[in-house]
Chains A and B, each alone.
Chain A
C-alpha cells in the first residue's frame, strides 16, 4: 500500500462511448503524489490530461465513465466511496481550479458568496446555521474567512469586491477568485487545470507565483495540467508527459528537460521557442494527434516518430522503468527482443 503517498492512481482508465466507438480518454494511467509535491501533467489538447483530474474527483460527465483502476487518496479508493463521502472530499480535501475563469464563475451570484459556498457546504465554521436569524454569527465568521482568503490571493480591497459579480472582475482577478474558492477549505491537493491558459503572460506569472506561495506556505500538493512544458518545467518538481490517453514519460523536471527518454517529450522540447538560439527555427512535431476512437495496436506516437521501428506499431509498449522514479513508454533506449515468456502488461525493468 501507499506509505507516504497522498494520492496514488493505479491503472486509471476512463472511457467515453461515442458513435464511432469507445474513446479511451485515459488509458491505464499511474500517478503518485506526495504531500506538498508539485506534479506537472503535460500534453497536447485532447490527450486526456483534464479527464485525469475530473476522474480523480469523479466528475466525469455522462456518458463517460471510469471503467478500471484505483484512485487511492490517503489509502482510500475514491472509486469505492459513496456519493456523500465523495462530496465531502470534493472542495475540502481535493479542490480544483478550472481553465476558463469567466465561464467557470457563476454569472448570477456575487463572487464573495461563491467563495463562501464551499465553507458552508463543508460546515467549516462551527455554530448554529439554522434557523435564519441565529446563523448570523456563523455567516459573519465565514465572511471574515472569505475576506481573508481574498486578500491572501491578492484581490485588492476585498470588502468592496465581495459583493461584486464575476463580470465586474478582470480575467486575472477572476482566476484569483477561483483560486480563493479552491483554497478556502484548506485542501491537501489542488488540481489545477490549465490555470493560466486564458490569461495574458504577465498575469500568468503572477498566478503561478501565487500557486507556488500556496504550495510553500500551506504544503498543498498541486497537480498542474498544462500543454506548456516550459511552464511545467519551471513550476513543478515532477513531470508526467501524456499522449493519447497514456503517460509516455515520467520523471523529475531535470531528467525530463535535460535527458528526455521518449521521442514525444523530445519533440515537445524541440518545439519550444528559445531566445538564445536565434538561428534555429521552432521544430514542430510532424503529423497530428491520433484519433482516440481508432488507436493503433502499438505505440500511438509511432506514426509521428522519427525513431519508429517496425516493432513499434505492432506491439503494445509497456512502461519501462529507466531508473528510480523514471519511466518511459518507448523501445528506443532498449535493445528489445520479443520474449514470449515476458508478459507485455508488466513493467519490465532493465
Chain B
C-alpha cells in the first residue's frame, strides 16, 4: 500500500519538473543578455552571418513557443539538449556533476545530524545548564555565519596552517579511481580501493562541516525546543510512573515524539543542502552541480540551466517525499 502511494508520488514529480522547467524557460528568456552575444564577446569581430548561423543552430531564431515545443518534445524523450558553451549533452554534464553534489550534501547531512541530535537532546535534558547555553549560543553563530567565511577559516586552519586536510577537490590528483556510480566514497568501496576511500573521505570533511554547520544549528534548536515540550508531557510522566529509567524516558518516549517536527525541518534543509551550495562548492573547488549552474546562468546557457533546474526540482520533491514517508513511520496519525 505504502509502495503504491510512493510510486504515485514519484510519478507526480514529472509534471512538477516540467512546470518548473517551463517557468525557468520563460524567465531566462526574459532576462537581458543574449547567449550568442555573450559567446561572441563584445568586440564585434564576428560577422553577422556567423551570429545568424549560431542562432539558427540553437533554434534561437524561432518564435518562443516553437522553442518551448522543441525543448519539451526532446525532454520527454530524455534529451535535454546541448550546452551552448560546453558543446556537450546536458544530461551527460549533469550526470558527471550531480553525484559530487549529492555526495557533499549527504556528507553535510551526516555531519550535521551527528552533531545536532545529541546536542539537541542533551541541551533539552539539561536545560539552562552551561552546556545548553554554550551550544545554543554557538548554534546561533552557526546560523549567522556566512558559509564562505567559515569555509575559508577552516581551510586556513586545517589545511594551510596545520596541513591536516586537503584544500580542495574531491580526491588527490595522483590517485586513480575507477568510476562506477560517480560517488567517490561508494566507488572506492566498490572497487576496494582503500587509498581512494581515505582520500575522498578526507576531502569531504571540511566542505561537509562548512555546508552542514547552519543545518546542524537549525536542527539542534528545533530538536531542543520540541524535546523540551515532549519532556513536559503527560506521557513522559506516565513512562516515569511505570519505573522506566530516565534515559529510556528521554530516548524513547520523548525523542520519538520530538522527532516528528524535527524531520520536517531536516527535509527542508536537505533541499538547501542540494540546491544552495554554489558558494561552498566554489570555496572548496568541489566539482558539483552548483558551480556549473552559476556559470551557465552567467553565460545564458539555456539548455544547461533548464536541465539543471529540472534536476533541482526533482531532488527537492524527492527530499520532500522522503520526509513524508518518514513521517508516516514516526507519526501513526499520518498516512501517505
Contacts and interface: CB of A to CB of B under 8 A. Distances in A.
Interface in A113-140: 117-118, 121-122
Nearest to B238: A104
A107 interface: yes
A108 B327 CA distance: 11
Interface string A146-185: 0000000000000000000101000000000010010000
Contacts of A178: 238
Contacts of A108: 256-257, 260, 330-332
Given A87-B244, A104-B234, A167 B239 contact: no
A106 B259 CA distance: 14
Contact of B237 (A59, A91, A110): A59
B257 A88 contact: no
B333 A87 contact: no
A96 B241 contact: yes
B68 to A, nearest CB: 48
A314 interface: no
Contact of A167 (B232, B244, B330, B332): B332
Nearest to B241: A96
A284 B256 CA distance: 46
Interface in B209-260: 232-235, 237-245, 248, 253, 256-257, 260
Nearest to A118: B242
A105 interface: yes
Interface string B258-292: 00100000000000000000000000000000000
A59 B241 contact: yes
Contact of A90 (B243, B253, B330): B243
A181 B240 CA distance: 12
Contact of A117 (B233, B242, B257, B330): B242
A107 B241 contact: no
A89 B243 contact: yes
Nearest to A99: B234
B237 A104 contact: yes
Contacts of B239: 106, 117
B310 to A, nearest CB: 37
A64 to B, nearest CB: 13
Given A87-B244, A89-B243, A117-B242, A165 B333 contact: yes
Given A107-B332, A108-B257, A108-B331, A122 B243 contact: yes
Interface in A210-232: none
Contacts of A24: none
Contacts of A87: 243-245
B34 to A, nearest CB: 57
Contacts of A121: 242-245, 248
A264 interface: no
Interface string A272-310: 000000000000000000000000000000000000000
A57 B241 contact: yes
B243 A181 contact: no
Interface string A64-108: 000000000000000000000001111110011010100111111
Nearest to B237: A59
A180 to B, nearest CB: 12
B243 A98 contact: no
A59 B237 CA distance: 8
Given A107-B257, A107-B333, A108-B331, A90 B240 contact: yes
Given A105-B235, A108-B331, A59 B240 contact: yes
Contacts of A100: 234
B325 to A, nearest CB: 16
Contacts of A57: 240-241
A105 B239 CA distance: 9
A88 B243 contact: yes
A41 B330 CA distance: 39
11 contacts: A61-B232, A90-B242, A91-B242, A98-B234, A104-B237, A106-B253, A118-B243, A165-B332, A165-B333, A167-B333, A181-B242
Interface of B: 232-235, 237-245, 248, 253, 256-257, 260, 330-333
Interface of A: 57, 59, 61, 87-92, 95-96, 98, 100, 103-110, 117-118, 121-122, 165, 167, 178, 181
Which 6 A-B pairs have CB atoms at the shortest separation, nearest pair first? A91-B242, A91-B243, A90-B243, A106-B235, A104-B234, A165-B332
